[in-house]
Amino acid sequence: MERPLRERVPPKNASRRPGLAVAPGPEPSQTGLMITDPGFTPGPELIRKLPKTDLHLHLDGSLRLSTLLELARERKVELPSWTEEGLLELVFKESYRSLPEYLEGFRFTTAVLQDKEAMERTAYELALDNQAEGVRYIEVRFAPQLHIHTDFTAQEVLLSVDRGLRRAMEECNARPAVREGREPPFRYGIIVCALRFFTAGFSSLFRHFILAHKFSEPQRVFALASLELARMTTAFLEEHPEVPIVGIDLAGKEKGYPARDHWEAFQHAHQRFLGKTVHAGEAYGPESIFQAITELHADRIGHGTWLLDPSKVTNPEILDPEAYVQNLVRFIADRRITMEICLTSNLQTSPTIPSLEAHPFKKMLDNKLSTTFCTDNRLVSRTTVTQEISKAVKAFGIDVRRLRNLLVYGFKRSFFPGPYTEKRAYVRQVIDYFDQVVEEYEEGRGGKKKQKNTGRDQGGSK
Ligand SMILES: [Zn+2]
């Protein structure tokens, strides 16, 4: 039997829980962005320097290729090729025929991530790679149950990922520019993923889990595994409040595996103030997104690609899909539920999107939804945050002022692991730094006489 919540959440934790991310309050930024041409479209060189986030970033999809090869060799994991070129040709492609082909690569990456050293190293390198392109805040997600086995406990899995990320953070923040407050520090959070669906082949833990629930319906087994993950996570946090596990996610096959099956797990997380994000509207329609928000309390949605598409509504009880989508958009916009946009990944897994320009992100922008650019999988999608933003800026004609708002959403809608006051101060610092980088860039370009722009509409907000 569970103890009451009061006893389970130690007061010292209370201020660092991430539910604070959605607290209302005045916008922290209304500075004058000193630029000669607020309408200019930034290129990759400038984008690289700007402070950025990645809130949707799978650890097991974002290994360095060289590290995957090295770990596989050491751990005697079979790969279809032993060269980087070979793997890029056979597994981690520019484009994929289908989602199953996209997912194929994870078989190899999870196979090498079965011990402390591998988890710590890949987490460390992932943070370094982000830092190298000016990303200041990341939320790294992975499914612990794909890594746990007899010789690798849940505790060790979580601690080793944290060790890697922490080491990279401390190294970065020891630089004089950060210590002296001239640049915002690097911060991170960890998100644990529950899976909508799994088979015995997914991992040792899942094999045992399925065996142990032989007489339960598969749907019930998936739900129980999620609940176990949620309980494991909160129990871990009671012992290790210093580890910034800031949220829970639901990933995996969407169609046929509804979010509501995982209600109990998300309710458990919700009552303990963990952030909630759900992969939804990627392979399925608007109702799936609505369900994630209303039944799993999602603060953010992974992808949300088909949010604005009435033709993707399949529930026969919804008689007017157009009106349903309009209401849903209003509902989401009002609550600032944030869409984690992974453009390259979507193009790779959704053959029905013919080009980047045709991606529904355009409609999300037009509807003033809260969105943030993410990579999903740096290796599997062969991308970086800078690349994602550069592509979007070009395809959708996003000017620097609008980009400022979009990049700031990432910081604001993060499940930042600290008190809300600290988060606000961080966002403030990020906004000032953004302005400074743009101004310096403008000066470098031989910018014209500057005009202080004080319009309320450009305050990196909402
Ligand atoms: Zn994802």
pLDDT tens for each residue of 97-141 = 887 888 899 999 999 999 999 999 999 999 999 999 999 999 999
Burial 13-44 (b: 16+ CB within 10 A, else e): eeebbbbbbbeeeeebbebebbbbebebebeb
pLDDT at 32 over 80: no
pLDDT tens for each residue of 41-96 = 899 999 999 999 999 999 999 999 999 999 999 999 999 999 999 999 999 999 88
* DSSP result, 246-290: EEEEEES--TTS-GGGGHHHHHHHHHTT-EEEEEESSSS-HHHHH
Q: Comparing 451 with 423, which gets the higher pLDDT?
A: 423
- Cα 97 to averaged position of ligand 1 atoms, centre (Å): 18
- Cα 28 to averaged position of ligand 1 atoms, centre (Å): 30
- pTM score, whole prediction: 0.89
Question: Which pLDDT value is given to residue 352?
Answer: 86
- Cα 458 to averaged position of ligand 1 atoms, centre (Å): 30
pLDDT tens for each residue of 176-235 = 999 999 999 999 999 999 999 999 999 999 999 999 999 999 999 999 999 999 999 999
180 has catalytic annotation? no
Question: Which pLDDT value is given to residue 444?
Answer: 84
Q: Which helix (H) or strand (E) element contains residue 53?
A: strand 52-58
* DSSP result, 190-212: EEEEEES---TTS-HHHHHHHHH
What percentage of the chain carries pLDDT values higher than 70?
88
- Cα 58 to averaged position of ligand 1 atoms, centre (Å): 6
The β-bridge relationship of strands 338-341 and 187-195 is unpaired
pLDDT tens for each residue of 371-384 = 999 999 999 999 99
pLDDT tens for each residue of 397-417 = 999 999 999 999 999 999 999
pLDDT at 14 over 50: no
Q: Comparing 185 with 316, which gets the higher pLDDT?
A: 185
Mean pLDDT of 10-16: 38
pLDDT at 16 over 80: no
Question: Among 238, 252, 162, 237, which Cα is nearest to 203's?
Answer: 252
Question: Which pLDDT value is given to residue 34?
Answer: 56
pLDDT at 18 over 60: no
C-beta atoms surrounding 419 within 10 Å: 14
- Cα 429 to averaged position of ligand 1 atoms, centre (Å): 29
pLDDT band at 253 (very low <50, low <70, confident <90, very high): confident
Q: Are 99 and 283 in contact (CB under 8 A)?
A: yes
pLDDT at 7 over 60: no
* DSSP result, 67-134: HHHHHHHHHT---S-SSHHHHHHHTS-SS-SSHHHHHHHHHHHHHH--SHHHHHHHHHHHHHHHHHTT
Question: Among 388, 361, 366, which Cα is nearest to 377's?
Answer: 388
- Cα 10 to averaged position of ligand 1 atoms, centre (Å): 32
Question: Which pLDDT value is given to residue 255?
Answer: 82
Distance CA 232, CA 359 (A): 38
- Cα 223 to averaged position of ligand 1 atoms, centre (Å): 19
3-class secondary structure, 372:
strand
pLDDT at 30 over 80: no
State the residue for tokens 């209370």: 14
pLDDT band at 282 (very low <50, low <70, confident <90, very high): confident
Q: Domain extents for the chain?
A: 21-59+126-452
3-class secondary structure, 29:
coil
Mean pLDDT of 254-283: 93
Question: Which pLDDT value is given to residue 3?
Answer: 39
- C-alpha R_g of the chain: 22
Q: Mean pLDDT across the chain, nearest whole number?
A: 89
β-sheet bridge partners, residue 189: 139
- The encoded tokens of residue 229 equal 């993950």
Question: Among 277, 273, 317, 305, which Cα is nearest to 293's?
Answer: 277
Q: What are phi and psi of 275, to 5 degrees?
A: -70, 150
Mean pLDDT of 322-329: 96
- Cα 399 to averaged position of ligand 1 atoms, centre (Å): 27
CATH architecture label of 21-59+126-452 = Alpha-Beta Barrel (3.20)
Active-site choice (120, 139, 183, 282): 282
Question: Which pLDDT value is given to residue 165?
Answer: 98
218-239 vs 204-212: helix axis angle to the nearest 10? 120
pLDDT band at 455 (very low <50, low <70, confident <90, very high): very low
pLDDT band at 24 (very low <50, low <70, confident <90, very high): very low
pLDDT at 275 over 70: yes
β-sheet bridge partners, residue 194: 250
Q: Are 360 and 324 in contact (CB under 8 A)?
A: no
Q: Which helix (H) or strand (E) element contains residue 135?
A: strand 135-142
Mean pLDDT of 351-374: 95
